Each structure stands twice: as C-alpha cells, then as structure tokens.
C-alpha cells in the first residue's frame, strides 16, 4: 500500500449533496464531509466545486451512467454516487516514485465500503438529512465515522533517512498494485469437512431457537474466515467486514496481523480523537443557530473498544453506558439492508470462533424478548457445541497458507455470491514488482470492459506475457472471475492454458474452462 500524507495534495476525500447549497451564499451547505478536515473552507469548496462541475458536464454526454473517474495529469478523481445526488469523491495524486499506482475500481470500492458500513450503523444519509434538514446531524455522524474508517489505513512509518528506530509520522495506506490479488467488498469462506459442516448447521439451528419464535440471524467466523451466515449476500459482506476489522479474535489481539489487507494502525486512536473535532469547526458553526443540541455520537469503528467478558460475550461502551433507562440501550445495533430492520448485535467468542447473533429491536421494546435471557440461552444450549466445533476446525486448520496452491498466485471472485478466495498475502509478496504491475494493468483492462458491458454479461479471456516473462491471466464467465500470475519463464502459451485448466478443474469445479 502506498503512503498518502494528509499534509499535502496527495489525498482529498469528500462527501456532498447536490440538492443542497445551490443558492449563492449557501454553498457550504452541500459539504457533508471533507478530509483532511483542517483544510480551509475555500479549498474544500474548490475541490467539491470542481467535482460537481465534472459530474454535471459528464451527465450531458451520459445521463444514464454516473461519472466514475476523471484522469488528470497529476491526479485521479474517483467518483461514487452513494445515494441519489449524494456523492463521494476521492482525489489521489499520481506518484510512481512512492508506488502510488492505483486501480480505480479498488479505490471506488473503498468509497462503497465506507458508505455501506455507515448505512449499516446509522441508516441512509438521505434519511438523516430529511430528519434534520440543516445537515448538522449528518455531519456529526459522518466526520467521526469516516475518520475512524480511514484510521484503518493509517500506520506509523519509519524514516528512511535515519538509522534510528524513530516513528516520524502517520500515513494513509490505500490499496495499490500490490493488493491486486485482493477483492474488497467480498467475504472469504472457510472450507469445512462434511461432518463439521453438519455440526455447524446444527449450531445455527440452536442459535435461532435461543430467541424463541422470533426470526433471528446469525453469522459464524473462524479467525477472519466466514463459516456460516443466514443473512443476505450484501448484509453478510457488511457485517463480515466490520467483524474482521473489530470483532474477531485477531482484531481483538493487539499484536495480530490480519489475513485481510485491512491494516490496523497503532496510532489510529490519536488520529480519530483529533479528527472528531472536525464537525465542530467552521461548517457546523454556521448551523449552531438552528439549535442542534449536543448528543452522544456513536462511533462504531473506534479501535480497541471491544473486550471479551467473563461469559464469552464481547462488550463495548461505544453505544453508551448503562447509566439509566433500559439496560438494552447500550447494546450495539445495526440496520439490515435487505429487510430494513434494526437489529441488536450480540457477539460471542470462544478462542478463534466468533458468533454474531442478530435480534429485532422491536421485539425487545415490546417486551417479547430479553437480551440477557437470550445470552443465557446461548451459554446453556450452544456453548458446548461451540467448544467442540472450534476444537475440530482448529485441529484441521493449516494456518494462513491453507489456501496456497503451489506454483499459482491467484484470485477467484464470485460476484453474484460476493465471495472471493486468493493466494495468501505472504505468498503474493514473492511475486516480482513487474509481475504485480502487469497483473494490475490487466485487471484495469477487465474493469474497463466490465464497465462498458454493464447491462449484459460478457465472457472474457486475456493472457499476456509481460516483460519479465511472467504470464498474467484473466478469465471472466457467468459472474465469476479468475486472475492469475505464473512466473515460470519457460512456459509457452499452451503450457499456461493447460495450467489454468488444471486449476479450474481441481479448485473451481471447471467454472473457468473456455470453449
């Protein structure tokens, strides 16, 4: 990941509403979020004004398709229409010397991910604006949330000019060509033996029964891999992403290095606390006359805020302390995208196994269900099953290199199911820089072709031999994608095609065999 400093022009990230601030003198109203927040308002308006102009201009030629990217000489402008007329824009500086070679779709997926997570916890941005038209409430939630999210990409960097082990500053680590064999916005599944899969299914049924006749949902993870889910694909991705960031055994371990490339920065808490002052700055001071009261702002992505209780359930004070009213008021809640239901989130953990149980909040409010009773039911009915399943999975677990396939560096994506599997990151780092650059360029070509053929599925097969004799391959068919790098310099095109065919037959049920 390339380092992006907030002190120069290397990165700008903003969110704005095209329905606001269209009257002269009220332009500031359209700004919902801006990073870095300490930039003066004239600079913020300049960036957003340019973005708005580009959106309006491109709509003249393509009213049906939203603007996705504008490439300038020094910067890439990445656009994402998160909701109707709610835009998120990332402006990144091009700098090959620092390794800042971007794949635009990977950057757009960052914008999509942070918006999806925000909606999961707070609901849609448009609904918040309609609830409180001044925009003060929306900003008070967006600023700390996105800042906490960005802290996931921040880490201390060592000075290359000093022989001492000094930390010299915080840098943003955004995905570059080195992460081309990763797919944000997907989940990574754990392959289970048949007998364990049967036990997991039985456990899921027990978890469902813990809430009586009420319809609940559950998700089970082993380390950073998905074992089971009863949620829709989109809701699964959102909750899985959050769990890997903050809830799994690896996330709770201070010295853990996650299998995911969502890196956790050691200085994130300092950055986050500093940046929460942003909404109280010049923009929101304009709306103080509207009488917005200060209220507790929930910051679900804060780091180091979850701990494991004595009963095995994870606890946090993010949603408030139980200092009055219903004890359930401090329990985490999320919104399900598919059903638009608000759900309580309970997390239980035994060693490397993490269970997430979702219960409808209206059942608690109506007195049909007690959270403490559900917790007790889980402990009584499911704890022994959880212990046995964790023990069996751990016994057969081969470590982070479990899905390494000798001779291959690969990424398989099922876009319909939103699932991916890839070579372990430690194995990907053995690829030469030229190989990764070639593969990244290939993925850019595939992204472009997919964008052109949005309304119809298009099968593709591309096989290129790069300058360092590596073969980079892409195959796209029926909603599934395969990307691969083979560094055997002596292989011919026929050898390479045969190798891909063997991989497809053995590991993908022949999904990528081309006629």
Q: Which domains does the chain have, with CATH numbers?
A: 11-156 (3.30.450.70), 192-254+301-396 (3.30.450.30), 409-508 (no CATH)
Rg over CA atoms, the chain: 24
pLDDT per residue over 347-360, tens digit each? Answer: 999 999 999 999 98
Per-residue confidence (pLDDT) for residue 397, from 0 to 100: 93
Cα(220)–Cα(236) distance, rounded to whole angstroms? Answer: 11
Per-residue confidence (pLDDT) for residue 304, from 0 to 100: 86
Per-residue confidence (pLDDT) for residue 271, from 0 to 100: 38
Q: Worst-scoring range by mean pLDDT, 25-29, 199-203, 332-336? A: 25-29
Q: And the tokens for 130? A: 């309609």
Q: Does the pLDDT of residue 44 top 70, yes or no?
A: yes
Per-residue confidence (pLDDT) for residue 2, from 0 to 100: 54
Backbone angles phi, psi at 158, to 5 degrees: -80, 145
- For 187-210, the DSSP string reads B-BPP--HHHHHHHHHHHHHHHHT
Per-residue confidence (pLDDT) for residue 286, from 0 to 100: 35
Per-residue confidence (pLDDT) for residue 197, from 0 to 100: 96
Per-residue confidence (pLDDT) for residue 82, from 0 to 100: 96
* Average pLDDT of span 254-267: 39
Cα(263)–Cα(255) distance, rounded to whole angstroms? Answer: 12
Average pLDDT, the chain: 83
Q: Does the pLDDT of residue 262 top 50, yes or no?
A: no
Q: Does the pLDDT of residue 152 top 80, yes or no?
A: no
Cα(343)–Cα(357) distance, rounded to whole angstroms? Answer: 9
Backbone angles phi, psi at 182, to 5 degrees: -140, 150
By C-alpha distance, which of 392, 341, 400, 337 is closest to 365?
Answer: 341
Q: Does the pLDDT of residue 130 top 50, yes or no?
A: yes
pLDDT per residue over 489-502, tens digit each? Answer: 677 899 999 999 99
Cα(12)–Cα(31) distance, rounded to whole angstroms? Answer: 13
Q: Does the pLDDT of residue 256 top 60, yes or no?
A: no
Per-residue confidence (pLDDT) for residue 463, from 0 to 100: 94
Handedness of CA 388, 392, 395, 400 (dihedral sign): negative
Per-residue confidence (pLDDT) for residue 450, from 0 to 100: 87
Q: Are strands 306-308 and 69-71 parallel, antiparallel or unpaired?
A: unpaired
By C-alpha distance, which of 288, 21, 267 is closest to 168?
Answer: 267
By C-alpha distance, which of 195, 252, 194 is closest to 221?
Answer: 252
Q: Is 310 helix (H, G, I), strand (E, B) or coil?
A: coil
Q: Worst-scoring range by mean pLDDT, 158-162, 177-181, 440-444? A: 158-162
Count other C-beta atoms under 10 Å from residue 253's C-beta. 10
Per-residue confidence (pLDDT) for residue 80, from 0 to 100: 96
Q: And the tokens for 370? A: 């007690």
Per-residue confidence (pLDDT) for residue 328, from 0 to 100: 58
Count other C-beta atoms under 10 Å from residue 167's C-beta. 12
Q: Worst-scoring range by mean pLDDT, 212-226, 256-270, 462-476? A: 256-270
Per-residue confidence (pLDDT) for residue 245, from 0 to 100: 93
pTM: 0.87
What is the pLDDT confidence band of residue 14, given thresholds at 50, 70 and 90? very high
Per-residue confidence (pLDDT) for residue 161, from 0 to 100: 36
What is the pLDDT confidence band of residue 63, given thresholds at 50, 70 and 90? confident
Backbone angles phi, psi at 128, to 5 degrees: -65, -40
């Amino acid at each position: 990941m390339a380092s992006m400093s907030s002190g120069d022009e290397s990165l700008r990230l903003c969110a704005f509403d095209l329905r606001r601030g269209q009257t002269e003198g009220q332009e500031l109203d359209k700004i919902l979020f801006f990073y870095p927040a300490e930039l003066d308002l004239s600079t913020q308006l300049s960036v957003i004004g340019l973005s708005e102009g580009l959106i309006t201009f491109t709509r003249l030629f393509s009213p049906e398709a939203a603007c996705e990217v504008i490439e300038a000489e020094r910067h890439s402008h990445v656009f994402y229409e998160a909701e109707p007329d709610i835009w998120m824009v990332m402006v990144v500086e091009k700098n090959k010397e620092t390794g800042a070679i971007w794949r635009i779709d990977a950057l757009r997926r960052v914008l999509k991910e942070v918006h999806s997570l925000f909606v999961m916890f707070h609901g849609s941005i448009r609904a918040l604006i309609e609830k409180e038209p001044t925009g003060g409430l929306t900003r008070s939630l967006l600023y700390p949330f996105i800042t906490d999210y960005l802290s996931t990409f921040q880490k201390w960097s060592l000075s290359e000019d000093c022989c001492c082990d000094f930390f010299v500053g915080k840098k943003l680590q955004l995905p570059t060509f080195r992460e081309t064999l990763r797919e944000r916005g997907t989940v990574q599944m754990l392959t289970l033996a048949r007998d364990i899969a049967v036990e997991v299914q039985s456990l899921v049924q027990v978890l469902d029964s813990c809430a009586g006749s009420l319809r609940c949902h559950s998700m089970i993870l082993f380390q950073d891999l998905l074992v089971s889910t009863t949620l829709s694909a989109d809701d699964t991705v959102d909750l899985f992403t959050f769990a890997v960031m903050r809830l799994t055994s690896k996330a709770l371990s201070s010295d853990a290095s996650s299998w995911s490339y969502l890196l956790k920065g050691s200085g994130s808490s300092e950055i986050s606390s500093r940046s929460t002052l942003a909404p109280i700055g010049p923009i929101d001071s304009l709306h103080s006359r509207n009488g917005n009261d200060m209220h507790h702002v929930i910051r679900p992505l804060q780091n180091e805020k979850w701990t494991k209780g004595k009963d095995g359930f994870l606890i946090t004070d993010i949603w408030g302390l139980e200092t009055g009213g219903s004890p359930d008021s401090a329990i985490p809640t999320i919104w399900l995208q598919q059903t638009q239901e608000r759900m309580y989130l309970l997390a239980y953990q035994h060693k490397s196994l993490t269970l997430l149980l979702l219960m409808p909040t209206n059942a608690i409010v109506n007195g049909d269900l007690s959270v403490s009773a559900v917790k007790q039911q889980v402990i009584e009915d499911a704890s022994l099953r959880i212990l046995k399943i964790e023990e069996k999975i751990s016994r057969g677990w081969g470590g982070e290199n479990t899905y390494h396939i000798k001779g291959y560096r690969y990424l398989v994506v099922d876009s319909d199911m939103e699932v991916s599997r890839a070579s372990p990151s430690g194995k990907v780092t053995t690829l030469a820089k030229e190989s990764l650059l070639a593969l990244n360029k290939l993925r850019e070509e595939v992204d472009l072709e997919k964008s052109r053929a949005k309304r119809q599925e298009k099968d593709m097969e591309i096989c290129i031999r790069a300058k360092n004799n590596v073969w980079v391959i892409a195959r796209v068919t029926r909603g599934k994608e395969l990307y691969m790098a083979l560094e055997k310099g002596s292989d011919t095109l026929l050898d390479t095609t045969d190798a891909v065919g063997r991989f497809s037959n053995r590991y993908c049920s022949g999904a990528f065999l081309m006629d």
